[in-house]
């Protein structure tokens, strides 16, 4: 009778451990999936940026510094994305967003740019992508938070440590994204 109780207890613990493991795997893959969603949107935005920059160059010869900063940040973001460097992506994407703010301010200041249909279509597309990136970033960070909390809670942490689960990094953009752009500085000649 004692052996049956012991075997039953071991079986229950084994099933419980398997359920915890499967839950952790689901969370880990949820983080990966949400990162992939962000990656797709970032790639789409990065594909649109050269078109916007090229179109704007035709009108804004003196704004080359802003355009060059955006393209340099785009290159850094691509490199960070390819290397899986979440912090690097956050920093480069913050620089891109700041540069886009400068381009948007410039477009607002020049009626001939604002009237250009190609620029307005590109800006609309990029604005839509920016909104989608913000939504996906929130979803990604929520997935990371759920994953990280779960692998630190008992009894899940025992299974997580035995199976080698690691915490994921939040996607955070730099401080420059959080502050208002200095419009006067953007238009100094």
For residues 142 and 62, is the Cβ–Cβ distance under 8 A?
no
Radius of gyration over alpha carbons of the chain, in Å?
Answer: 23
DSSP category for residue 155: T
How confident is the model over 7-14, as a mean pLDDT?
A: 93
Of the listed ranges 20-29, 51-60, 180-189, the least confidently predicted one is 180-189
pLDDT digits (tens, 9 = 90+) for 49-62: 777 767 666 665 54
- Among 120, 122, 124, 103, smallest CA distance to 60 is for 103
Model confidence at 27, pLDDT cuts 50, 70, 90, reads very high
Burial-class residue 173 by CB neighbours within 10 Å (0-12, 13-18, 19+).
buried
Is the overall model pTM greater than 0.85, yes or no? Answer: no
Is CATH 1.10.3210.10 correct for 2-186?
no
The pLDDT, as a whole number, for residue 56 is 66
pLDDT value of position 48: 79
| Confidence label for 167 from pLDDT (cuts 50, 70 and 90) | very high
What's the half-sphere exposure (Cβ side, CA atoms, 13 Å) at 74?
Answer: 20
pLDDT of amino acid 69: 75
- Measured CA to CA, the distance from residue 86 to residue 80 in angstroms comes to 7
Unique residue bearing structure tokens 């590109």: 122
State pLDDT tens for residues 120-136.
777 788 788 888 888 88
């Amino acid at each position: 009778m004692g052996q049956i109780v012991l075997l039953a207890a071991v079986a229950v613990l084994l099933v419980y451990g398997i359920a915890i493991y499967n839950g952790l795997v689901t969370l880990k893959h949820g983080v990966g999936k949400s990162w992939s969603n962000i990656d797709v949107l970032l790639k789409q935005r990065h594909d649109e940026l050269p078109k916007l920059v090229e179109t704007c160059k035709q009108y804004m010869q003196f704004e080359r510094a802003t355009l060059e900063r955006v393209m340099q940040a785009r290159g850094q973001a691509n490199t960070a994305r390819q290397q899986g460097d979440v912090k690097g992506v956050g920093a480069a994407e913050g620089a891109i967003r700041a540069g886009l703010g400068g381009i948007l301010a410039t477009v607002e200041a020049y009626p001939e740019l604002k009237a250009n249909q190609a620029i307005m279509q590109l800006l609309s597309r990029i604005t839509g992508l920016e909104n989608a990136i913000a939504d996906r970033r929130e979803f990604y960070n929520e997935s990371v938070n759920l994953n990280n909390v779960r692998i630190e809670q008992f009894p899940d942490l025992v299974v997580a440590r035995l199976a080698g689960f690691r915490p994921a990094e939040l996607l955070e953009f730099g401080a420059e994204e959080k502050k208002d752009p200095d419009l006067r500085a953007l238009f100094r000649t």
